[in-house]
Amino acid sequence: MKGTYHIITYGCQMNESDSERLSGQLEELQYQPTDNMQEADVIVINTCCVRESAENKVYGKIGELKHLKAKNPNLVIGITGCMAQKNKEALFERAPHIDFVFGPYNIHHLKELLQSGKAVASHTLKTQMRGADITDFTDLHAVRKSNVFAWVPIMQGCNKFCTYCIVPYVRGREWSRPIESVVKEVRELAAAGYKEITLLGQNVNAYGLDFKDGTDFADLLREVDKIDGIERVRYMTSHPRDMTREMIDTIAQSRHVVTQMHLPVQSGSDAVLKGMNRGYTVEHYCKLVDYIRKVMPDVVLTTDLIVGFPGETEEMHRETLELLKKIRYDLAYTFLYSPRSGTPAAKMAGQVSKDVMKRRLQELMSIQNEISLERNETMVGKTYEVIVEGPTKNNPKMWFGRTSGNKMIIFAPRATTMIGETTQVKVDHAQTWLLRGELAERN
């Protein structure tokens, strides 16, 4: 064994997937993971910069590592991910104890850097955006945290340039993995006993558009759905602008694609959507939802909402509240607008005060929480298939699993060997965020 490593991951599921591939490179070099950062020989922080709060957390953690480097000069410290791409050389200036900075498209360089023996004090910087000469890092070996559930990246980047979003500037233009590459990885996961996969992309509905041969997300879903052994296929995240009826039909007709659809609307105001450069109207969005519910009556629909976008008036805010009442989402992830330097929205007039944003957020959450509870209450008395994930954090005697619609159900297990088991649970109580039930009798 060469030593130990510790990876700290911030941000989205794409970062979680990237960290699994960083772990794969380290373990190929005979490094072993450790939960104790104080003992690690290699520390990698995989970063997010979508919100200012995430960036501040990273800088705080980097500062904590300074005393470890002073105590062990041979300690290798690296920063990867979106913040690494955004801040580049500034990270070395602010924290000279960092040894390397890799952007999201350059994580495959970790192994060669460590093999070279020049990692310590090298100030190696690799933040090249994807080009024809860059290795397909999605084929790197991944050390997965679960042996039941797996992330499968299908694309990188985003071409939408929503005015509030930093992603296109740090993840680059949309680039899709070949279908054959994705199918190969999913087949390997099925052979290894994985039950559920999640196809990842900043905007999965744009999958294949860069091939310019007519291939799209529906084609990929059909191929993945053919693979036996995988019980559930999830995907995130969708964009209403690129969601087509063919994609919806493909999902509705599939064997394994889940009944949950996450379709971020961001606002119920056309004026705000235009300012965000979302590329659709509220009417277009509502027609999509109508069609989804027509062909998928049991769909669990979730969304994202941003409160307090520059220029949002009280009337625009009320339009969003009315949209919630009309659509009746199962769940909405709500966020206060956070200006990010480098994005057009950060310089827009009409920045909304924090107090107003917080009040609007509470109004929005109050309505949505009521709707979420009502929708969960319709599930009481019914039995659902779940894949068991394990004990809950607050009470290890109670376990949980999720339905195809991604609803969490808590129950008492029949054995401590149930992780990964597909079983039936009858719901007997509904809460806003979760359900409670009991295992159904075996036939």
Q: Which positions ≥6 away from 32 have C-beta within 8 Å?
A: 1, 3, 4, 5
| DSSP-based three-state secondary structure for 88 | coil
Q: Is 286 annotated as a binding residue?
A: no
| DSSP-based three-state secondary structure for 250 | helix
**Quick one: which of 66, 118, 75 has its CA closest to 97?**
66
Distance CA 178, CA 301 (A): 29
Residues linked to residue 307 through DSSP beta bridges, in sequence order? 336
Q: Which positions ≥6 away from 83 have C-beta within 8 Å?
A: 47, 48, 49, 54, 55, 58, 91, 170
Q: Is 49 annotated as a binding residue?
A: no
Four-residue CA torsion sign, 238, 239, 240, 244: negative
Q: Is 82 annotated as a binding residue?
A: yes
Residue type at position 357: M
Distance CA 301, CA 238 (A): 12
Q: By the 8 A CB rule, do 29 and 41 touch?
A: no
Length in residues, the chain: 443
Distance CA 101, CA 138 (A): 19
Q: Which letter does DSSP use for residue 120 in this model?
A: T
Q: Is 12 annotated as a binding residue?
A: yes
Four-residue CA torsion sign, 214, 216, 221, 223: positive
Residue type at position 385: E
CA atoms within 13 A on the CB side of 128: 11
Residue written as token pair 């659509």: 327
Question: Per the annotation, where are the binding residues?
Answer: 12, 48, 82, 158, 162, 165
Annotated binding site for [4Fe-4S] cluster: 12, 48, 82, 158, 162, 165
